[in-house]
Amino acid sequence: MKVLRSALSVTIVALLAVAAPVRAQTPVPGSRVAYIDLQRVLARSAAGVAAREQLERDKAGMQKDIEVKRKELETLRDELEKKGPLMTADARRDKQDQFERKRRDAARLADDFQKELEKKESVLLQKVLQDVSGVIEKVGKERGYELIIERQRAAVLYASPEADLTEEIIKAYDQQAVNKGKK
């Protein structure tokens, strides 16, 4: 998850760097720099919250499937423990093989669900970050910023609270979503 967020943050920073015009090496008098906290945008924006809720719904459905498999395994294990001594060697071996197959299948299913969930998370977060990058560029141009950086990944050692555009970006992003919904 951290690797994914880091990669997505790098993507946003790269998008901003490409969108920013080339400037002279010396600082421009009165140049403006601001930062945003993408994690907060993802956590608080309407689209970020909706993406997280969708992931939670998907996760809950997957957990139900895994729970069904777990109960099947428990039932088979209990049957082996209780009836195993009374079974013929071949019948007991068949039950044990069945238990091992179901155990492997359940482990594969859990692994597949985890990969699927990570893929869905990546797709949802990438969409949110692509959308928000346009909002960041728009707000940056409108407010005359020379540079907007992502606070977490840019190793900001000091940031004035006045330079924090995160809440403004969240509002603009949410408003953009509302305006798209009206069309």
Query: What's the confidence (pLDDT) of residue 155?
Result: 58
**Mean pLDDT computed over every residue of the chain:** 80
Rounded Cα gap, residues 20 and 17, in angstroms: 5
Overall number of domains in the chain: 1
Q: What percent of the chain has pLDDT over 70?
A: 80
Q: What's the domain range around 65?
A: 2-182
Backbone angles phi, psi at 107, to 5 degrees: -65, -40
Residues 6+ apart with CB under 8 A from 177: 46, 47, 131
Rounded Cα gap, residues 122 and 6, in angstroms: 12
pLDDT tens, 112-167? 999 999 999 899 888 888 888 889 888 888 888 888 888 887 756 456 788 888 99
Rounded Cα gap, residues 70 and 66, in angstroms: 6
pLDDT tens, 11-55? 444 434 433 433 333 444 566 888 889 889 888 999 889 989 999
pTM of the model: 0.62
Under DSSP, the state recorded for 164 is B
Rounded Cα gap, residues 105 and 68, in angstroms: 12
SS3 content of the chain, % helix, strand, coil (to 5): 75, 5, 20
Query: What's the confidence (pLDDT) of residue 8?
Result: 41
CATH number (domain holding residue 134)? 3.30.910.20
Query: What's the confidence (pLDDT) of residue 29?
Result: 56
